[in-house]
Structure 1
Amino acid sequence: MLTVVRALTAAVLAFSAPAADPVREQQAWVLDALNVEQAWTVTKGEGVTVAVVDSAVDTGVKELKGRVTSGPDMTSGSVQRDLPPGRHGTAMAALIAGSGKGDGFIGVAPSARILSLPMVIDDEPGVAMPPLEDQQSRPNAQSPLARALRYAADRGAQVVSMSIGSYGPLRSEREAVSYALSKGVVLVAAVGNDGQTAYAKEKGTSYWSFPAGYPGVIGVAATDKQGKRATFSSDNLSVLVSAPGVGVPVVKRGSGYELSEGTSSAAALVAGVAALLKARYPALAPEQVAQALAASARGRPAAGYDDETGFGVVDAAVALNAAERLVGAKRSVTPGMQHFGKGADSPVPTRPGPDPVRLWLYGGGVLVALVMFCGAIVVLNQRKEQA
């Protein structure tokens, strides 16, 4: 089975922000859509490390300087090489943790740190492929993503952001996802940009993209400025929540800013919100983070959920409140047997073991049988003597 991993950018449109229209103003609608500024009154992501599994992050960008740890090249388990800074990975890292230094770009969790785990090369936007992996000839081989997830989990990352995808699940990745989740790591991934493909139009649903499709991974769809699903955003049951993904300002590799479109940006934004939750409530389990994000989302579909925007657009401030309730919730079921609903309790089950009544009956029967047996022997002996 050959697997191609690709960056999930639909398009990147350059723009220059004039002095009277700084990038922070360009970002305002995105931050408002996620209700981030209210969440910042509680936390800005202090003490949390977010692993960015993508192209290498440019550590020289002013908004990321001094706050990025660069991990090894994940495309090979043996041969290591230095990958050049990538356009895509840099943009995603700044969406998560841009510091806003010098009135510059600010991320959703501006006090968080980034662990850059490169596994794709993006010399051109949207074209990002590591070496192909033949899982049939190497069934026990780990994919680059599997290596990255285990590396992140073993080095203390609390959140992993994955704006990447492939069309086929791999055993090594499923196992790595389970491993990371068992370590308490929150996994966030873009669901893909296949909403306008011929297959999606014909079938009414999009191909599943992985890692978003793995159980336990928070799949993120893209919405526009009106909070509606972006036409390119994939629609399938891997979608849990959504976030802005159309005309989203991002940091350029080197310096400057540009606009992006794609579920990549949406996933990075949600990873930033997850970092806020983990900073405030470090013991929050991955499934609780997912529950808090889903339960607090805005613009919920009429049916409560659909496969286009999931449970709605993430609300950072309300998600923090939801997380607080989850942390403080007590178990409603105490040790012992309980019934559900109204009505009398069922009879208490009898303890396992011998039944005294039956024992007496059994013992009495055995005694009567012995008496009759002995009596029969006496009678036979008497007849024998008489004869």
Structure 2
Amino acid sequence: MFAAAPYATADQVREDQWALEALNAESVWKLSKGSGVTVAVIDDGVNASHIDLQGNILEGKDFMDGGSASPNPGDNHGTAMASIIAAHGHGANDGVIGLAPEAKILPIREFGTDGPGLPVSIRFAVDNGASVINVSQCFGSNSSEEVEKVSDAVAYALSKDVLVVGGAGNDGNASKCYPAASPGALGIGAVANDGQIWENSNSGAHVSLTAPGKNIVAAKGTGDGYRTGAGTSDATAYVSAAAALLRSQFPDLTAGQIANRLVKTAVLPEAEKGLSLPDERYGYGIIQPLAALQEDIPVGSKYGPLAVPDSLKAKTATPEIGMSDEEQEKADRKALIIWSVIGVVGLAVVGLIVFLIVRRSRRNRGNGGGYPQYGGQSNPYGQPVSVQHNPYQQQPMPPHGQWPPRQ
């Protein structure tokens, strides 16, 4: 998911990182640089000795060959993603700098079809301290069993308050792939520097957000070199970095509430304003990290705009982060007792109300008495019928947004 070519000198690299300017990185870094946050990069390995990444790469795991999570010669994808997220450059104007330059990268070497599969890697990332998981990979849905395993791993991550960010795919069509399309994950499309969708970015209901993904400068997997590339992989890395910024700034927010801030502040280019959101190409729009960090946004529900996996819907009580299975079982029993009592009391109250209404109607029979009408629906309790709306469906364009965002 990463098309690349050789790149030039270090100072030109910094100069050509257009995405940082478009995302208001200089202003963003006054608020957050991602300190204290670990982002897992599940990919073909990360070059921890690259001059722009030294000190920001943790000891990871190689599920393909064992040993360290270093890439093989010629493998650049994982190092590029890590640098987009958390490179720190090596001078005032030299080298690559990531959007979250103080975040740490947990490299996990599991790429393509050569390892045990994404489910193992995702669970490893969750169990080893990551609060954001970057998966710049995308697999089709030919095997329902494999899709289920990946989606189960995403659900496991969400149950542990870890956000999974996945690329939407580079086929330029409406085919969906995983983990981007797994319930609980954020699927990411790519845009060019004019805000228009990159021509090969997949569309569909699995696209939640978009981010810069064309002509992206990044570190190479061998030595201290650089290259430029395009793809939803790069866009995914920028969204993972934005999530790291938010997790550092708002440590008490859940993964879904972090996603909520990204969604509520996303923007569209001028030519696309007026689209009903989520759009199958843009999702809710292009990320705007500065607005996500500083705007006054209601916390929202635990899972925010994320689709809730069935395994989490089945819980009778919302699990607390870090709660043991035994503690969760006790909480579930307690919740069941409470809701049973509420149910019994509720039935008694409804019965009493019905009794009083019937008695009153008998007294008023022949006097024109009746229930007030609300929208053609009979309401026996004299209150307007409420209509529930999903705040994440068919949203109008946020009034504040434009691309590129203003400083």
What is the TM-score normalised by the length of structure 2? 0.68
> Which residue does the alignment assign to 1:292?
261
Which of 66, 84, 90 lines up with 1:95 in the alignment? 84
Larger Rg: 1
Alignment partners' CA distance in 1, 2:216 and 2:186 = 20
Please state if 1:349 is matched with 2:379.
no
Question: Paired residue for 1:130?
Answer: 114
SS at match of 1:349: helix
How far has the Cα of 1:66 moved from its partner?
2.0
Displacement of 1:104 in angstroms is 2.0
How many residue pairs get aligned? The number is: 297
- Asked if the contact 2:48/2:70 (under 8 Å) is kept, the reply is no
Structure 2: give runs of 5+ residues left out of the alignment: 302-348, 357-407
Paired letter, 1:208? K
* Residue of structure 2 aligned with 1:219, choices 187, 190, 197: 187
- Aligned positions of 1:15-54 closer than 5 A: 15-17=7-9, 21-27=11-17, 29-54=18-43
Which of 232, 251, 258 is the equivalent residue of 1:282?
A: 251
**Which residue number corresponds to residue 114 of structure 1?**
105
Q: CA deviation at 1:152?
A: 1.0
Deviation at 1:69, TM superposition (A): 1.6
- Which residues of 2 match residues 1-387 of structure 1 at below 5 A? 8-9=1-2, 11-17=3-9, 21-27=11-17, 29-75=18-64, 80-82=66-68, 84-85=70-71, 86-102=75-91, 103-120=94-111, 128-130=112-114, 143-168=116-141, 169-195=146-172, 200=173, 206-253=174-221, 254-299=223-268, 301=272, 302-305=274-277, 306-322=279-295, 325-327=297-299, 349-351=350-352
1:297·1:312 contact (CA, 8 Å) conserved in 2? yes
What is the identity, as a one-letter code, of the residue corresponding to 1:16?
Answer: A
C-alpha deviation, 1:82, in angstroms:
4.9
The CA deviation at 1:328 is 9.0
Distance 2:39 2:54 in 1: 15
Post-superposition Cα deviations, 1:320-375, rounded to whole Å, max 9, x if no partner, equal 134x533499xxxxxxxxxxxxxxxxxx73459x99xxxxxxxxxxxxxxxxxxxx
Instruction: Write the distance in 1 (CA, Å) between the matches of 2:275 and 2:236.
Output: 23
SS in 1 for 2:241: helix
Secondary structure of 1:96 counterpart: helix
8 Å Cα contact 1:92-1:264 kept in structure 2: yes
What is the alpha-carbon distance in structure 1 between the residues aligned to residue 157 and residue 70 of structure 2? 27
Cα pair 2:130 2:162 within 8 Å, conserved: yes
Moved more, 295-304 or 148-157: 295-304
The CA deviation string for residues 275-320 of structure 1, in whole angstroms up to 9 with x for no partner, is 0000011122121122211110121642232111112110001111
Contact 1:241 1:312 in 2 (8 A): yes
RMSD: 2.5
Change (3 A) 1:229 1:161: same
User: Hey, what does 1:363 align to over in structure 2?
Assistant: none
C-alpha spacing 1:289/1:69, structure 2 compared with 1 (3 Å): same
Once the two structures are TM-superposed, the CA of residue 13 in structure 1 deviates from its matched residue by 1.7
8 Å contact kept, 1:52–1:93: yes
Letter in 2 for 1:149: I
Check whether the contact 1:74–1:145 (CA below 8 A) recurs between aligned residues.
no
Q: Is the 8 A contact 1:54 1:119 kept in 2?
A: yes
Q: Percent identity?
A: 37
Alignment-mate amino acid for residue 233 of structure 1: S
Output one character per residue of 1:229-261: Cα deviation in whole Å (capped at 9) or x when no partner: 011111111111111111011111221211111
- Show CA shifts across 1:50-87 (max 9, x none): 00000110111011112212322234xxx835564231
Structure 2: distance between partners of 1:326 and 1:92? 31
Change in CA separation of 1:175 and 1:257 when aligned onto 2, cut-off 3 Å: same
Which secondary structure state, in structure 2, belongs to the residue aligned with residue 95 of structure 1? helix
Q: Equivalent residue of 1:50, what SS? A: strand
Q: Distance in 2 between matches of 1:95 and 1:179?
A: 26
1:47 and 1:262 mapped to 2: Cα distance? 28
Q: Tell me if structure 2 keeps the 8 A contact 1:13–1:258.
A: yes
Structure 1 residues without counterparts, runs of 5 or longer? 1-7, 121-127, 132-142, 201-205, 330-347, 356-387
Instruction: Tell me if structure 2 keeps the 8 A contact 1:70–1:117.
Output: no
Matched-pair contact (CA < 8 Å) for 1:34–1:243: no
Q: Distance in 1 between matches of 2:253 and 2:276?
A: 24
